[in-house]
A and B are shown apart, each in its own frame.
Chain A
Amino acid sequence: MLKTPIITARDVDVYYGQKQALDKINLEIPEHKVTSLIGPSGCGKTTFLRCINRMNDLVGICRVEGDIQISGQDIYAPDVDVVALRAQVGMVFQKPNPFPKSIYENVAYGPKIHGLTSGKTDMDELVEWSLRKAGLWEEVKDRLFETGTGLSGGQQQRLCIARAIAVKPKVILMDEPCSALDPIATAIIEELIDELRKNFTIIIVTHSMQQAARVSQRTAFFHMGNLVESGATKTIFTSPNDERTQNYITGRIG
C-alpha cells in the first residue's frame, strides 16, 4: 500500500467491557502528512486515536487486541514503556487544557520531565522555538510568566500544541482540536496544522468535513466501529467507493 507508513494498525479490536468499540481496523498512516479520521459520533474514531498513544490504558475496562506499530515497533509489546511512547506521540485534546501554571512552565513541562534540555538558556530556546512553531510567540512573549489559563480559547489551544511539540514527538494526535473554538481561531489552527506537518505526522479527529478536506491529505471514514474506507482525501470526498461514505459526506447520515 503506502511506501513509508509510520503507523500501521493491523486487525485492531477494542472492547469496553463486553461492548466492542472497534472491529478489525487496518490502517496505515504516512509520515509528514495529515490524516483525518471522520465519522459520526460513537463510530470509534476517538477510541482509535487514543489507542495510538495508549491513553486507553487509563480506562480500566478497555481492552485492545491486534497490532499497532510505530516505525516498526509494536507499541503494545510488554516491554514498551508508555512514558517513552507518549513522549513520541503527543496529544492535543478537544477542550484546551493548559496546566494552571505559567505559559513558560506549560511548555517547559514536557522537556523537563523527559530531561531534553541542559540548562536554562537551552530551555528558554526550546520554549521560544515551540511557541514560535505554534504561532503563539508574538502574542505571549511579553507575558511568558502569566498563567496559561488566562489566554483566550484559541490561544490556549495553540499553547497546548506548543506544549505537545516541545518534546519533539514523531506523531501528534489531535482530538477535535477546534470544536471549542470560533471560526477565526479555527482558521489559525488549521494553518498551523498545515505548517506543522513538515516536522510532524499529524492525525486529527474531526466532525467537520470541510476541515478534513482543508487540512488533511488522507482521510479515514469510521462507521459503527468499522473502518469503512481510507485513502487520499481528494478521492474520499469526490469518489468514495462505499455508499456509507457517500451518504456521510453528503450529509445524509451522521
Chain B
Amino acid sequence: MSVSSVQTSLVDRAAPPPVRPARRASPGVRLKYALTVLAFLLPSAIPLTLFVLAPMVSAAWVSLTDWNLISPQVFVGFENYANLLTDPETGAVFFHTLYYIVGYLPLVYIGGLALALGLNTALKGRSFLRGIYFLPVITSWIVVALVWRWLLNPSNGVVNTVLGFFGIAGPGWWSDPAWAMPSIIIASAWKDLGFVMVILLAGLQAISPDLYDAAKVDGAGWWRRFVSVTLPMLSPSTFFVVVISLINGFQVFDQVYAMTGGGPAGASEVVVLRIYDLTFRYGQAGEASALSWILFIVILAITLIQVRGQKRWVTYG
C-alpha cells in the first residue's frame, strides 16, 4: 500500500491541541495515561516493528553475506553489491523496468486526464460510467494478466482476429521478445486508467469555477483555459499520480510474472522478478537482498528528487 505514501507529507495537518495530563499531575494519573497510550498504540506498533522494521534491518545484514537460505551465512562485505553492479543482467532488468514506466506513465496519464475532463461535465449516467472505467482497478493483477494474455493471443486472440479483419497481420505480442513489454504496458494501463481518472477528477472538481469565469472574462478560449487554468491547478494531482506511478512502476511484478514470466528470452525480466528468481530459483539470497536494497534506494532517491523539485511546477492554490 505505498499508494498514499507521498501525499501524506503534503496532506498532513497540524495535530489538534493536547489534552494530556499536566506535568504536576500525580504519578498515578500519569502512569494511567501512559498505559492508555500504549494500549492504543501496541496493536499496530508490534506488527510494524516485527514484520517491517526488523526485516528491513535484517535485509541489510543479509545483503552483506553469501547465503542460499540454508547453509550458514558467510560475511562477504560489499561483494554482492560489486557483483550486481558489474553483472550486465542488472542493467538489463533496470532497463526493462524503465521501459515499462516510460511506456505506461504517458498512457495512463493522458488517457486518465481525457476521461476525467470528459466526465467532469454534465454527462448523463456519469457515476455509472465512472464505475465502469474503475472496474479494472478492483481486479487482481493476475486476472488482468490472464485476460490480456488471452486477448493478445498471437494465434486466435481477439485483438489479432480484429486486426486480421482489416488485413493487418498482428504481432506475436507476449510471445515475441520485441512485443512482450508493450503487451504488459497495454494490460497495465487498462487496469490503472480508472485509478488515475478518479484522482484527476477529484483534482478537477477542486478547481474554483471563479478562475474559469475570470479567464472567460479575459477572453480566453477553451484551449487557453485548459493550459492556463486547468493544468496548473491540476498540478498537485498530477504530481501525486507521477510519484505513485514511479513508486509502483519500479516495483512492477505480478503482471509480468503471470503474463510473460520475464520472457521470452528474458526480454521482459524486471527488477523484482530478478529479486524473486535470485532468491527462490538460484539460492542467492545475499545478492537478492542487495538488489532489493538498491531498488529501495533508487525509489527513495527518485521520490525525494520529485518532492524537492515540485516547487518548480506544482501550484498549491
Whether both chains belong to one complex is answered with no
Which A residues contact B (CB, under 8 angstroms)? none
